[in-house]
Amino acid sequence: MTLVFLLGYFSGNMTIATFGFLGIFTLMYYDNIPLKNLLIRFISVASFILISFNIGALTTFANWTTPIAIGFIAFVGRVFFRLYNINKPGPFFAVLVSAMGASIDIPARQVPVLGSFYLLGASIATIMAIIVHFVEKDPTEPIKKKSIFQRIFEDPGVFLDSIFYSSTLFLAVYLSSGLQLHNPYWMVVSCAAILQGDNLRAVMQRNAQRIFGTIIGIGIAALLLNASLTTLEAIVSIIILFTVSQITVSSNYALSAFFTTPMALLLASLTKDQDVSTLLQYRFIGIALGSLLGAASALLITTGLNFYNQSFHLHENFDKEPD
């Protein structure tokens, strides 16, 4: 991340840092697997995220297509990442960049340029992943070759889960656009983050923790944004905030949100000047609405599936004759 920010700083183009930063997140898909499989994974993930950004950016020419496009990306991403056991963050970053692309109004000729900045960050992440792979002391875990049909047979619920996931994000995009939120992708991203929970209890915990963490994070962000930081000071602050958020996310999701919120707002301030009070206000509204929508939809689908299962006796088989 430091390399990408320094490239942007010394070239005088902080857009390189902003979109290269997104490419660095590819490193989060690292797993201790054979190098060939690792490289295939990174290329596949980076390509899917880049295509997602391009699709999102192109929807700005016909805004009514944005919910459909992001819903489609969410569905395909959920199916792909789940079937191939590419666990968290899963399709989260594809949804993030597609929503971001749909929120920025740029000429079509600029889309490939921004995509190249993303690829720069993804390339650096891939190089770092290779270094980590050779430094790794534990033996790699081999990956069994399976056909796509075998994977679907072993996980038949993947399509139902993906329909639920994509439908919720479709609604999040529709609502954020209808409410004319500033930076509407924040609501979509917050909803996607909440739905990363493994079960209903985890989703509800994430919902409360994310809203609480965002409140504290906005306070920290207000202090930093009003401190008139230089570009270099903002870069150093972003790197520190990101590092701390990643250290704390596995142990305390709310504590991680303390640092994620000011990091995101500082990153947004690098490329354009924005009114601080408006930025903070809409950040909280977007995060809160997205979190509540994600929690409500998770509760609805879980309750609905339990009711459906009880009503239609889905656990029945032909092993026993009915009494």
Residues 6+ apart with CB under 8 A from 127: none
Mark whether 146 and 268 lie in a shared domain.
Answer: no
pLDDT value at 315 more than 60:
no
DSSP H or E segment with residue 19: helix 14-24
Mark whether 7 and 150 lie in a shared domain.
Answer: yes
Q: What is the pTM of this model?
A: 0.85
> Which pLDDT belongs to residue 72?
95
**Helix/strand/coil (H/E/C) assignment for every residue in 96-125:** HHHHHHHHCCCCHHHHHHHHHHHHHHHHHH
Q: Is residue 5 within 8 Å of residue 28, measured between CB atoms? A: no
Which range of 55-64, 122-131, 298-307 scores highest in mean pLDDT? It is 122-131
Mean pLDDT confidence for 145-170: 88
Q: Which long-range contacts (CB under 8 A, 24 or more apart) does 235-240 make?
A: 235/5, 235/6, 235/9, 235/17, 235/270, 237/262, 237/263, 237/266, 238/5, 238/263, 238/266, 238/267, 239/1, 239/2, 239/5
Mark whether 104 and 146 lie in a shared domain.
Answer: yes
Q: Could you say which DSSP state residue 65 is in?
A: G
Structural domain includes residue 238 = yes
> Which pLDDT belongs to residue 169?
92
Mark whether 184 and 146 lie in a shared domain.
Answer: no
Mark whether 12 and 134 lie in a shared domain.
Answer: yes
> Which pLDDT belongs to residue 311?
62
> Which pLDDT belongs to residue 317?
47
Query: pLDDT, tens digit, for every residue of 269-281?
Result: 776 666 677 778 8
Mark whether 254 and 153 lie in a shared domain.
Answer: no
> Which pLDDT belongs to residue 312?
59
Mean pLDDT confidence for 90-95: 90
pLDDT value at 39 more than 60:
yes
Mark whether 19 and 125 lie in a shared domain.
Answer: yes
Residues 6+ apart with CB under 8 A from 203: 194, 195, 197, 294, 295, 298, 299
Residues 6+ apart with CB under 8 A from 320: none
Mark whether 128 and 189 lie in a shared domain.
Answer: no
Structural domain includes residue 85 = yes
Nearest to 21 by CA among 31, 9, 37, 30: 9
> Which pLDDT belongs to residue 170?
93
pLDDT value at 29 more than 80:
yes
Mark whether 190 and 232 lie in a shared domain.
Answer: yes
Mean pLDDT confidence for 222-233: 85
Mean pLDDT confidence for 95-122: 86
Instruction: State how many domains the chain has.
Output: 2
Mark whether 69 and 188 lie in a shared domain.
Answer: no
Query: pLDDT, tens digit, for every residue of 290-314?
Result: 888 888 888 888 887 777 666 655 5
Structural domain includes residue 316 = no
Q: Could you say which DSSP state residue 251 is in?
A: T
Mark whether 221 and 146 lie in a shared domain.
Answer: no
pLDDT value at 51 more than 90:
yes
Structural domain includes residue 172 = no
- Distance in angstroms (rounded) separating the CA atoms of residues 86 and 274: 37
Structural domain includes residue 64 = yes
> Which pLDDT belongs to residue 171?
92
Mark whether 27 and 153 lie in a shared domain.
Answer: yes
Structural domain includes residue 163 = no
> Which pLDDT belongs to residue 314?
52
pLDDT value at 318 more than 60:
no
Neighbours of 53 (CB within 10 A): 26
Q: Which domain holds residue 82?
A: 1-157
> Which pLDDT belongs to residue 256?
83
Last residue of one domain, picked from the residues 88, 123, 157: 157
Structural domain includes residue 321 = no
Structural domain includes residue 293 = yes
